[in-house]
Amino acid sequence: MDLSELERDNTGRCRLNSPVPSVCRKEPCVLGVDEAGRGPVLGPMVYAICYCPLSRLADLEALKVADSKTLSESERHRLFAKMEEDGDFVGWALDVLSPNLISTSMLGRVKYNLNSLSHDTATGLMQYALDQGVKVAQVFVDTVGPPETYQERLQQRFPGVEVTVKAKADALYPVVSAASICAKVARDQAVKNWKFVEKLQDLDTDYGSGYPNDPKTKAWLREHVDPVFGFPQFVRFSWRTAQSILEKEAEDVTWEDSQTGDQEGLRRIKSYFSEGPRPRLPHRYFQERGLESATIL
């Protein structure tokens, strides 16, 4: 899987996809949706779709695809390579959501929780398949949250498609299993080849599973927390595990409340459109974290 686009910029969102098989633009297709990396405190979350004609579903099942969590890494790579070989009838697409995107979404002024982010990403991939001309007739989705509510929302969004949302759909429907394999292969590769934008000395890449309850992951977090700047962007700093370590290991910061009401020295709105040199923007680090220069010490 070519993740060169993600490696060039792993701070936001990256979409990858296979060519659309011509048969998928001619015949009714079944499409599966699943994700990998929803729970870890480290690395991206990947959402994937996989689709094929209903007439070729038995051929997809013959590949012996299964829930990616039940397969070894080598088995997942073998099955993904097989799906690539069968590109004349199997297609896929995925969205890689960076830890930075996840954390800034969840901790922004307007909260955007992980469930909403997941729902919107899955919806976006389904719409992408339709926009590419795939004749989607049936969709199977591994649920996030209550399946009945999620299914109703998707059915309203895609009234011409038969939508089924189930818990453990990756173990029930082969097309969802195939999507889970695509997502897991992409996440594993992204984590393994992660390009740290921070210049870290003595970087240890043995961070365990990345899940919050993994002692090796917790040790890695404690070792790589900066007392001023916090964690590298590989870390989802919105996770409670990361926040707890920040509270213990990093320096305290007190934010003064912004003044309200009339303030002296406020500029008129027209002044922002006057001619003259534009103010210099702060460094990306401060923009991404919403940091501003202190005016009162």
Is 288 annotated among the ligand-binding residues? no
Report how far residue 138's alpha carbon sits from residue 197's, in angstroms, rounded to the nearest whole number: 41
Report how far residue 242's alpha carbon sits from residue 209's, in angstroms, rounded to the nearest whole number: 15
Report how far residue 142's alpha carbon sits from residue 168's, in angstroms, rounded to the nearest whole number: 6
Closest CA to 243 of 56, 68, 107: 107
Is 142 annotated among the ligand-binding residues? yes
The pair phi, psi for residue 46, each rounded to 5°, is -120, 125
Burial class (CB in 10 A: 0-12, 13-18, 19+), 265: exposed
Closest CA to 188 of 292, 44, 290, 34: 44
Tokens of 277: 């040199």
The arrangement of strands across the sheet holding 91-97 comes to: 13-17, 91-97, 45-53, 29-36, 136-142, 162-166
Which phi-psi region, left, alpha or beta, contains residue 228 (left: φ > 0; alpha: ψ -120 to 50)? alpha
Is 206 in contact with 180 (CB distance < 8 Å)?
Answer: no
Is 34 annotated among the ligand-binding residues? yes
Is 225 in contact with 246 (CB distance < 8 Å)?
Answer: yes
Report how far residue 151's alpha carbon sits from residue 164's, in angstroms, rounded to the nearest whole number: 6
The amino acid occupying position 53 is P
Residues in binding site:
34-35, 142
Residues in binding site for a divalent metal cation:
34-35, 142
